[in-house]
Structure 1
């Protein structure tokens, strides 16, 4: 054991429900609120250093578990119960070592914990692996954060051989032997990053589309958000099963950008998110062709495409993305649950990876290293994260070298969840110039 290793910890957790100020529609589902699960970790290292850290994550069950047999309240209850059991298990039978090794050891016990929840709640289906990863994410963040705070050092600076002796071959197999995690993680955060603003399927683009104003002083439509926050990066949620609507939506967003004070010459960047609703790659290709035919500039602004078809890659081997990837980077999101899924996606033509803190800090670090080693396109996305969970997501993005932007959707839909952190991290939640000052996330632990 190293003196820097975790030797003991105690855990506690809490849940908070937050209502959205306005509904969000994605993947054919409408979401009106979120539950935030937070874990506190009082940790000690072998050297006797001690500190309290924390991790938090929005439990996005509509994204992680789009069940056909259970309603959203039932899947949320199961995810929250699993999150509780994961914390209780880690507290009752703690592991020791570097947080990465601790998290991976604990991960080996999650399947049995999920099975217990399934029996306890008499569920008619298994809890998906993506939902299991999400339920464990707050604990993983708390362990990494407490470890770094105990050592008074950024967690991203504790990934070298002096603190983490194993190379990546131990975690990822022989193809990665000799590679070290700190080769793929920056010790210091990027000073700032552009912010991708979400354009949900229900979001009005202009004043004329606002039918039911929220009236809370925040922007009511995309044009106002662009002006207030100086936005340049827009993530557009698409239907995936309505070609005419999708084509017009991309064009309309581009027209709204052109009409802003930044105008047509600004360096606009779009991403297109289908949330796995497309039947096949042909749908995506036709949509791109039609957007280009009607507004070539709109298509030129698209930086990447996210998860066009079903997340279950093994069951849908016909949905290859090679032809789409010849035109634009295509990244997996819902499909990414482990190394095997990443390699299968690459084999099927995906050229990029979307990392998310909600899948666990350990998983994000390892998959980020794999993607960089394989020269894949990388982005970091959030799960309508608020407060601590957004700061975690932003710190992750700021320390992965090839990531060029971050997401922050919570400020749009549930800004009340950010209130406790606004003064401590000015500019992270109230955006200026279209960028967020990730240099603020340079403190010990995960930076918040």
Structure 2
């Protein structure tokens, strides 16, 4: 087999949230959504693939003083570098081999720059995803089948030595998931009840606004709750959330907490956890909590001080990393420090995430006790590409209850041309529906979405469209985000 990248192009559409999404130190209201198209030759067959992501602020780097305009410029720089390097590389015998070479070339390019691995790896991941789609289209094979048969040529031992001579298919479910549970994000600025909505600020856009409306409308039974790092405020908000859940979703609702790197020492987070555990009103809440995601800042999270503190804290909850999962050896180091796993995100790298999922399952086969966790967290994924590709990855890996929030903070596909909305509805009628107000929206029933159409597509996306209808990245300007 031979894999070559012949060219790439980048296009952007501006998107605006229907309400502010506050997470960690950021509040998202507008974002450029980038499409990367890769033109490749797969075994002599010309093929093209597309990837996409929103260029999120304060996630790939967490510098409170950095202007969003500068963050976007940095993201575009690392993406353009990955695209340039991909077109300069020699052909490779496998898709995995091409990715591995590109990852190494980008790492070498980034040496001496201020770009951290999580950021420069983002650029690689966009090329990787588009190339995976190009391969699946050329071979006319769905992602899950290619992965199970190791058509990509994934060498797990190149990332985790424990997986020597093991294949991805050994750790995958027998069949891809056909439904996925939506773990709904409760952002720091989200109204919990209708009475929380300030007069004159009700959205009235046809979609649920408050948490109680989302529970009623979508049948939500899994929640991800954002923390601010302010102990009493967080505990009080969790109490209110638990009250809403008891009122509108009595029964077995499961929770995760997202620390969003708000804590710079284990002891500070431990104090918060102690207050939470001792609050009589929250005993039922803690019984249904699945894990805590990335409470510690990336600058300290994998250090020896944390390792020692975790060893001393015998009754700590199950804690996983997210933003700290920046390099190929981040997960082994996290486990050494006492974490119980990591998150899967396409933006952190598909093959890296596959290897991490395989390692987690390998460890669960070998060790008893509290199971290790491979979760899936969202980067506000939206259609027509990013959401479907992410769901295709999760379905193949058997990750059943990922965080989803793109449908909540954006008004369905209202930002996209009618022709693209129609293409998505035609190709993914199980996953999307036409809202009574005319726009395409995610179809959530009983807290779940169907993945039938994304599973059978080449790599999630069955709809055809030309990203060239959007603004070329070289012509895009930051000031355009302030427009309507």
1:336-375 to 2 correspondences below 5 Å: 336-375=325-364
Distance (Å, rounded) in 1 between the aligned partners of 2:150 and 2:129: 21
How many pairs align?
430
Which of 370, 389, 405 is 1:409 aligned to? 405
Residues 177 and 400, structure 2, Cα contact 8 Å, conserved in 1: no
Distance 1:436 1:366 in 2: 26
The equivalences for 1:266-281 within 5 A come to 266-281=251-266
Range that drifts further, 287-296 or 57-66: 287-296
The worse-fitting range, judged by mean Cα deviation, of 331-340 and 289-298 is: 289-298
- Structure 2's unaligned 5+ residue stretches are 365-371, 433-441, 462-484
Which residue is equivalent to 1:288? 273
Per the alignment, residue 443 of structure 1 pairs with: 456
| Cα pair distance change 1:134/1:415, threshold 3 Å | farther
1:278 shift after superposition: 1.8
Deviation at 1:55, TM superposition (A): 1.1
Aligned to 2:427: 424
Aligned 8 A contact 2:182 2:222 in 1 = yes
What SS class does the counterpart of residue 169 from structure 2 fall into?
helix
Is the CA contact (8 Å cut-off) linking 2:302 and 2:337 kept in structure 1? no
Change (3 A) 1:138 1:417: farther
Equivalence for 1:130:
118
Task: Say if 2:56 is the partner of 1:60.
Answer: yes
Q: Determine which of 233, 237, 242 is the counterpart of 1:249.
A: 237
Equivalence for 1:123: none
Q: Deviations over 1:111-147 (max 9, x none)?
A: 354469x5xxxxxxx1121111223222111000110
The Cα shift of 1:230 comes to: 0.8
Structure-2 separation of matches of 1:314 and 1:209: 35
Distance 1:10 1:59, change over 3 A: same
Q: SS of the residue aligned with 2:455?
A: coil
Match for residue 34 of structure 1 among 31, 34, 37? 31
Alignment TM-score, normalising by the size of structure 1: 0.89
Given that 1:18 and 1:417 are in contact with CA atoms closer than 8 Å, whether structure 2 keeps it comes out as: no
User: 2 CA distance for matches of 1:404 and 1:441?
Assistant: 15
1-structure distance, mates of 2:203, 2:191: 12
Per mean C-alpha deviation after superposition, the further-off stretch among 19-28 and 82-91 is 82-91
CA pair 159-231 structure 1, distance change in 2 beyond 3 A: closer
CA distance in 2, matches of 1:381, 1:83: 22
How many angstroms apart in 2 are the aligned matches of 1:289 and 1:315?
Answer: 22
CA spacing shift, 1:93–1:314, aligned 2, 3 Å: same
Unmatched runs of 5 consecutive residues or more in structure 1: 119-125
Query: Is 1:18 aligned to 2:15, yes or no?
Result: yes
Whether the 8 Å contact between 1:19 and 1:34 is mirrored in structure 2 is yes
- RMSD between superposed Cα atoms in Å: 2.4
Q: How many Å apart are 1:22 and its aligned residue?
A: 1.0
Q: 2:150, 2:167 within 8 Å by CA — same for their partners in 1?
A: no
How far did residue 316 of structure 1 move? 3.9
In structure 1, the partner of 2:324 is 335
What secondary structure, in the 3-state scheme, does the structure 1 residue paired with 2:380 have? coil
Work out which of the residue numbers 420, 440, 447 in structure 2 matches 1:434: 447
Matched, 1:100 2:100: no
Equivalent residue in structure 2 for 1:184, among 171, 187, 203: 171
Cα shift readout 1:154-196 (whole Å, capped 9, x = no counterpart) = 2332246773556422x12543211112222347420111101
SS at match of 1:442: helix
Alignment correspondent of 1:76:
72
Counterpart secondary structure, 1:308: coil
Which residue is equivalent to 2:181?
194
Distance 1:415 1:98, change over 3 A: farther
Match of 1:224 among 203, 208, 213: 213
Structure 2 CA distance for aligned equivalents of residues 400 and 161 of structure 1: 13
Deviation per residue, 1:335-362 (Å, 9 max, x gap): 1112322111111110121111111212
Q: What is the aligned counterpart of 2:203 among 194, 214, 219?
A: 214
